[in-house]
Structure 1
Amino acid sequence: MEADRIDPQAKAALERQERLSVPHSRYGLKLFRQLSRATMWVQNRNPPSVGATFDGTIPGPAGELDARLYLPDAEGPFPTVVFFHGGGYVLGSIATHDWLCRQLTRESGCAVLSVAYRLAPEHPFPAAVEDAVAAVEWAAAHPDAVGGDGRLAVAGDSAGGSLAAVAALMAAERDGPEIDYQALLYPSVGIDEDQSSVREHAGVVLDADDMEWFRDCYYESDVHKRNPYADPTNAGDVSGVAPATVVTAGFDPLRDGGKAYAEQLVGDGVPTRYRNYEDQVHGFMTMQEVDRAHEAIATLGDDLADALAD
């Protein structure tokens, strides 16, 4: 499941990132978020070109949600991908995933609607789920507002991958909206401390304390951990959900949980493409300097283009 060593480009990227560690306190988190926003300007100063971008808001269950729409450099309308960023439900933003969303727009030929959701611990479960579902429902009901042609997919990485999977599950169980595809990038699902990926790779990007703190912030109560709308691996039947691509990384503590969900999808008859990048780490598809990130996004773009073709 993993290569002999981490890809040197990914390792170099990690060594640069290790200067910042996630604080496990509300005060430290506030400062960390402020610092992250300050550094995003540098990271995004030369973004890949797309046809157009529009910043705005869409209605959410507790107020407006920030959103950014990316349109391909082509004649629309386009299939729409609603994207949710990662960050353990605690960190992350539209800005942290701007490069990934731009690349995904370029490679898929889809309009990508990146949506910010309420973050924990200020807003624990089910706030993020409610926001994600509201965003998908809005995009489905207003295709003209996003340059859409009615075809719809959901996507996300890490915590955002879990939100995309839950949105697909809820749409299937609640008779809509119709979702044509889901793309789950190293999703935060089905995590168990006894999994070999957790035992062997905790400390690579995510350590055990990080994962525990993120879970405590998000779930707030252990009761929620068994809710299928908090973690879709708890669902007894996922046979009605949209076809999927599930991406994992060999040196990611979350690898085995993502693989298990891909197997659950296949077992329930859902067409699923599973890809494990054996020499990569959690979050690698946001690493601009990693060649395999470009490769993985291009492959995912092909999956979306094929699934959403006329």
Structure 2
Amino acid sequence: MPLNPAFEPILEAFAGMEAADWSAMDVGFMRQTGDAPIEVGEQVQVASVRDLQIPLDGRTLAARLYLPLGTSGTPPLTLYLHGGGWVMGTLDTHDRSCRELANASSSAILSLAYRLAPEAPYPAAVHDSFDALCWAEQHASRFGVDVSRLAVAGDSAGGNLAMAAALLARDRGPTLRHQLLLYPVVQDDFGTGSYGRCGNGRYFLSTEMMQWFWKQYLGDTQADAAPLAALLQNDDLSRLPTTTIMVGEYDPLHDEGVELARRLSAAGVATELIDASGMIHGFFAMSPLVPDVGPYILQAGAALRKALEA
């Protein structure tokens, strides 16, 4: 399908990014420009929002717990990892997405402010994500959620971290019911067909931008020595929880998400692939500006709700 026309003014606002010198890009500049939440329309209402501090070994991480509207009883819990190339992103940038997903899924959402690269390179964010998942399983019942029904979710780099946490949980616990991966980063291969079609910067995310993000995240670590970052390196993808993967048609990451779905299915994991027509990278957070995003949020929420039913 053609690019959804509602993206055109958004892409015009980012039109200069493809000409940026990514070899000299400043992290502070990226955060200054990229960490401003989209503030359009009224705030999405949920039953309650609570800011938390999660005490972990040697550090304390901020988090935000959303309880969904319209639920009776004790809702299940989903740990949400935000996107931003492991470098950017905050609780506020993904506040609306978490509110929308909570209501669409009838799951409580625990959004985590994990440590960011390059100050905290791989595998710091993986450890934060998994340790927060373990903390949630052990302690979050006191906040009115059912930690026996637990899932992970994330978008882009957050999808990468969600699956990394799921791989660790598979071998160490806790037991997960589902992983919801929104246009996840799963490999550092920039030669895929979708990079060739969509990586020139016309569709916001460019090949050079992703290469820069990988460099910030991995630091001195080589990708082939980072199986919890370059996830498709893992030979054994069996025994993971049921999975929903959502990819955008005009996203450079499209093909690696499709390949992950194929690999998971081949490993015996019940996997649903949702290929979002006309969508670019990051579309899940753009519902105030792109009305056609709404049905995909509902579809993702429905998949999560079904997997977490008592």
Please give the TM-score of this superposition, normalised by the length of structure 2: 0.92
2:190 equivalent to 1:193: yes
Verify: 1:57 aligned to 2:53, yes or no.
yes
1:77 CA displacement = 1.3
Distance 2:8 2:66 in 1: 30
Structure 1 residue 138: Cα displacement = 0.8
Is 2:27 the counterpart of 1:29?
yes
Taking the aligned partners of 1:267 and 1:284, their CA distance within structure 2 comes to 28
Unpaired runs of at least 5, structure 2? none
Cα contact 1:139–1:146 (8 A) shared by 2? no
> Structure 1: which 4+ aligned runs deviate by more than 6 Å?
19-23
Please give the alpha-carbon distance, in whole angstroms, between the structure 2 residues aligned to 1:93 and 1:207.
22
| CA drift at 1:190 | 2.3
Match of 1:141 among 138, 157, 171: 138
**Deviates most, 47-56 or 25-34:** 25-34
**Do the aligned partners of residues 230 and 35 (structure 1) sit closer, same or farther apart at CA in structure 2, a change above 3 Å counting?**
closer
Structure 1 residue matching 2:62: 3-state secondary structure: strand
2:94/2:285 contact within 8 Å kept = yes
Tell me which residue corresponds to 2:258: 259
* Alignment match, 1:124: 121
Percent identity (aligned): 37
After superposition, where does 1:1-310 map in structure 2 within 5 Å? 3=1, 5-18=2-15, 24=22, 28-37=26-35, 39-40=36-37, 43=39, 46-73=42-69, 74-149=71-146, 150-174=148-172, 176-202=173-199, 203=201, 204-287=203-286, 288-310=288-310
Q: 1:23 to 1:120 in 2, by over 3 A?
A: farther
Please give the alpha-carbon distance, in whole angstroms, between the structure 2 residues aligned to 1:219 and 1:196. 24
For residue 10 of structure 1, report the CA deviation from its aligned partner.
2.2
Following the alignment from structure 1 to structure 2, what is the Cα–Cα distance between the partners of residues 69 and 23?
Answer: 38
CA distance, structure 1, for counterparts of residue 133 and residue 221 of structure 2: 27
Secondary structure of residue in 1 paired with 2:239: coil
**Structure 1 range deviating more: 215-224 or 135-144:** 215-224
Mapped partners of 1:170, 1:227: distance in 2: 14
| Equivalent residues of 1:44, 1:99 under 8 A apart | no
Indicate the SS of the match to 2:100. Answer: helix
Preserved CA contact (<8 Å) 1:88 1:214: yes
Question: 1:289 is matched by which residue type in structure 2?
Answer: L
Contact between 1:154 and 1:164, CA under 8 Å: does it hold in 2? Answer: yes
Distance 1:147 1:225 in 2: 41
- Which amino acid is 2:249 matched to? G
1:199 Cα deviation from its structure 2 partner: 1.0
CA RMSD of aligned residues (A): 2.0
Tell whether the 8 Å contact from 1:191 to 1:254 is kept in structure 2 after alignment: no
Give the CA deviation at 1:75: 3.5
TM-aligned CA deviation for residue 289 of structure 1? 1.6
Q: CA deviation at 1:61?
A: 3.8
Cα distance in structure 1, aligned partners of 2:254 and 2:34: 26
- How many Å separate the matches in 2 of 1:27 and 1:206? 15
Number of residue pairs matched by the alignment: 304
Distance 1:207 1:47 in 2: 30
Inter-partner Cα distance in structure 2 for 1:82 and 1:97: 13
- Structure 1 residue runs of 5 or longer lacking an equivalent are none
Aligned residue type for 2:292: R
Change (3 A) 1:9 1:225: farther
In structure 2, relative to structure 1, the CA distance for the partners of 1:53 and 1:23 (3 Å cut) is farther
Instruction: Name the amino acid aligned to 2:59.
Output: G
Q: Measure, in 1, the Cα distance between the counterparts of 2:125 and 2:224.
A: 14
